[in-house]
Amino acid sequence: MRPFNDSVIYFAVVDRFSNGNPSNDNGRNPEAYDASRSDWFKYWGGDLNGVVDKIDYIKELGCSALWLTPLFDQIDGLVDVEGRGMAGYHGYWAKDFKRLDEHLAGSPEDVRVFASSDTIFDRMVGEMHRRDMRLVLDIVCNHSSPAQRPDMGGRPVKGEIYDDGKLLTSYEDDKLGWYHRNGGVSDWGNKAQVEGGELCGLADFNESRIGYRTYIKDAIKLWLDKGVDALRVDTVKHMPFWFWQEFVSDMLFHKPDLFIFGEWFQGGCYDGLSVQFANKSGMGMLDFALQRALEDALARGAGAGFELVDNVFAMDPLFDDCRHLVTFLDNHDMPRFMSAGATPARLEMGLALILTCRGTPCVYYGTEQYLHNDTNGGGDPYNRPMMEKWDTGTPAFLLIKKLAAVRKENAAVQSGSHRVKYLSKDIYAYTRVYDGDSCLAAFNRGPAAEIALENVEFPDGVYRDVISGRQISVKGGRIESLLLARDTSLVLSYCAPAPAGSGLEISFLLNGFRTAYGQRVKVTGNCPELGNWDLSKAFPLEYINDNLWLGRLTLKESAGGAIAYKFIVERDGDGVLYENRPAHFRHLPGDGRMELQHRWS
């Protein structure tokens, strides 16, 4: 799996983003649509034509990946929620995983998305790929739909599943055994209940049935073949690890460069099971722990401030690859950052931090326009207002644009180690360092202050703050006097000259060896680029954290062939420690990029 950490993801709830085709608004059930946009539980008209209309806006923002809520055909009826009828406008109540929902289509024929190569979906993917943008499809494997209001015959309708229009099964008439019947979850500490029980009345799939697994995997592969570049996976904590390992393996076998990340709700470094999921499932994970720390520090004004944020980064070694975490300030399942109490300046500070820290940053639609609705605290569904404006000159828009460009070009931002240079409740400064590149980020949520920074990994010189444009001098690794105004951020970026030539770019990753001071991890092997087993010419990796060493190497002579290699640790005054195993063997492509990840043996 190739990480997306050179990208910024833009996440849009399709129905609430842009209405490019009013003719599809009513869908099959006009009762499910509200033209006044006053009923927050119904469709409001956003569709894929609207997405196509705004691709250039998203590209100008600096986002090179677009995550869309599920596009699958949704139930047509309404579900009773809080005394009102809710439609499947959000996309998480699928009935046919092999059809496009009619509310999103450009024409009635588009719903059979795999029967043609000229649908609105094909047009959208083509427009994105022409702009070097990647599509992230939101998928649901855990459940289908809750019970709808009874039909004309008084029959309850729950969990109907179709295969390109052909009814396969339903919760009420489940001859295939595709559904669990364990009731709702009453004990959230009971793993079996969480994985086998119903979430909010949603018909819960029985993943032990090979027929269901074949159906869902075949359906997602069809979307991948249509041009989907990455998957965001809903409700991963509600299915067992073995299912995800099988699912991810099949998806990566089908599309090896696919990036996959899951939603383990409220998961992160403080939840041991979610850490295990991130390390064992084969996919990345949304970083709820960092989101909570940023919300507490910047939106709610918690006294511990940036110490809460640094505590999360200090636990990065729990993950085999923290680059696979997806960072965010808010999303469709929680109040927006400003609804939680953030001022525009604090929102901008949070954006600057996720855009310069490890992982892949994700911007929720409208955040760049300060979009929020604080009704009932801004929780669901009020965290999903209609996109209102497309101003390319807001401070948040410009900040995202500038820092997305830094992330795209600076390897340290993408993959570097996190080195704290200053930490207090109100001020936080860190550098990111990798492969000759460096980035410095500094934040102040308190009164104006003047600080000095030591051991800044920049060559001597004068650097321009990417955000404000002011000049900062670095001499002997020191910034003598750095003035930080209240509620401001600063970002400096340095990129070393790129080596000449081309070839196969390989990143070697090693987990599971905790080095001590004076120890260095290297890769040695039977090719010229790895020293032909001469340890004095072995390729050195860089320390990222206590559980990750990483190195990026361009192979010219050996590209397209096979190599053998193994990891060693040089220990000052104590010789060399070898992996206790035979060499690794790999057949290499002739060009492109690949990652080779290993655990110390």
Summarize pLDDT for 199-220 with one digit per residue, the tens. 999 999 999 999 999 999 999 9
Mean pLDDT score of the chain: 96
Secondary structure string (H, E, C) spanning 93-105: CEEEEEEECHHHC
From residue 468, give the alpha-carbon distance in Å to each of 136, 195, 242, 489. 32, 48, 49, 9
pLDDT band at residue 551 under the 50/70/90 scheme: very high
pLDDT tens profile 420-429: 999 999 999 9
CA distance 91 to 108: 18
Q: Is 234 considered catalytic here?
A: yes
Q: Are 235 and 143 in contact (CB under 8 A)?
A: yes
Inform me whether the pLDDT recorded for 568 exceeds 80.
Answer: yes
Q: What is the pLDDT of residue 151?
A: 65
| Cα 495–Cα 500–Cα 506 angle in degrees, nearest 5 | 80
Q: Which domains does the chain have, with CATH numbers?
A: 9-143+206-412 (3.20.20.80), 415-494 (2.60.40.1180), 504-599 (2.60.40.10)
pLDDT band at residue 571 under the 50/70/90 scheme: very high
Inform me whether the pLDDT recorded for 500 exceeds 80.
Answer: no
Percent of the chain with pLDDT over 70: 99
Q: Is 172 considered catalytic here?
A: no
Inform me whether the pLDDT recorded for 153 exceeds 70.
Answer: no
pLDDT tens profile 478-491: 999 999 999 999 99
Q: Phi and psi dihedrals of 378, rounded to 5? A: 85, 10
Q: What is the pLDDT of residue 86?
A: 97
Selected catalytic residue, list 195, 263, 296, 368: 263
CA–chain centroid gap for 233, Å, is: 10
pLDDT tens profile 208-252: 999 999 999 999 999 999 999 999 999 999 999 999 999 999 999
Selected catalytic residue, list 25, 73, 229, 234: 234
pLDDT tens profile 356-379: 999 999 999 999 999 999 999 999
With CA atoms as reference, report the closest residue to 121 among 3, 194, 223.
223
Residues found in the chain: 601
Inform me whether the pLDDT recorded for 583 exceeds 90.
Answer: yes
With CA atoms as reference, report the closest residue to 68 among 92, 93, 39, 97.
92
pTM (two decimals): 0.97
Inform me whether the pLDDT recorded for 69 exceeds 90.
Answer: yes
Q: What is the pLDDT of residue 150?
A: 81
Lowest mean pLDDT among 147-161, 275-289, 560-574: 147-161
pLDDT band at residue 2 under the 50/70/90 scheme: confident
CA distance 347 to 76: 37
Q: Which residues, 6 or more positions from 105, have their beta carbon under 8 angstroms from its beta carbon?
A: 21, 24, 47, 48, 111, 119, 120
Residue 315's CB is within 10 A of a number of other CB atoms, namely: 16
| Over residues 75-96, mean pLDDT | 95
Burial status of residue 123 (CB atoms within 10 A of its CB: 0-12, 13-18, 19 or more): middle
* DSSP structural state of residue 22: G
Lowest mean pLDDT among 23-27, 78-82, 329-333: 78-82
CA distance 294 to 300: 9
